[in-house]
């Protein structure tokens, strides 16, 4: 039996079937959780090429893990370091975007939600990575 690997969850499923994970989670998130500014950015014609440029800069790898943790991990998400809601003018700025894995993306948002001090510290590290500044942290 031929199998496929789900690009969303990584599970294996028969080639003639569908994965058991929720493929519509992005549509649901857009409908019920994403703010109107985010919808405009992520559904614009400019977003896809900018996201691809960030992915190419990172060679498809998690930039945070590569620079800070010195591990090679596949990236999956172009993360806005300074959120679109806070500064819409930087929505398409490649120096405000970092390519990360889903696990690091969740870790970054946890730090953002912890305290303003943690958010500022995390943003400084991420901006240094995205801007190409080599520092030891």
CA angle 69, 71, 76 (to 5 degrees): 100
Beta-sheet pairing, 12-14 with 3-5: antiparallel
pLDDT digits (tens, 9 = 90+) for 11-62: 888 888 877 776 655 565 555 555 666 667 878 899 999 999 999 999 999 9
Domain assignments of the chain as residue spans, ordered by start: 1-33, 45-130
Cα distance between residue 65 and residue 63, in whole Å = 6
Angle, vertex CA 104, rays to CA 101 and CA 105, nearest 5? 80
Distances (CA, A) of 40 to 45, 89, 99, 129: 10, 13, 20, 26
**Phi, psi angles (nearest 5°) of residue 16:** -95, 5
pTM of the model: 0.74
């Amino acid at each position: 039996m031929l199998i496929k690997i789900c690009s969303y969850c990584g599970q294996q499923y028969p080639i003639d079937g569908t994965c058991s994970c929720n493929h519509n989670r992005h549509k649901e998130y857009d409908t019920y959780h994403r703010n109107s500014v985010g919808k405009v950015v992520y559904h614009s014609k400019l977003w896809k090429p900018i996201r691809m440029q960030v992915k190419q800069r990172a060679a498809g790898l998690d930039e945070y893990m590569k620079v800070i943790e010195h591990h090679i991990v596949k990236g999956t998400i172009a993360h806005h370091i300074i959120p679109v809601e806070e500064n819409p003018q930087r929505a398409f700025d490649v120096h405000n975007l970092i390519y990360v894995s889903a696990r690091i993306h969740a870790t970054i948002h946890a730090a953002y939600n912890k305290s303003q001090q943690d958010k500022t510290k995390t943003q400084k590290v991420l901006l240094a990575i995205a801007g190409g500044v080599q520092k030891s942290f």
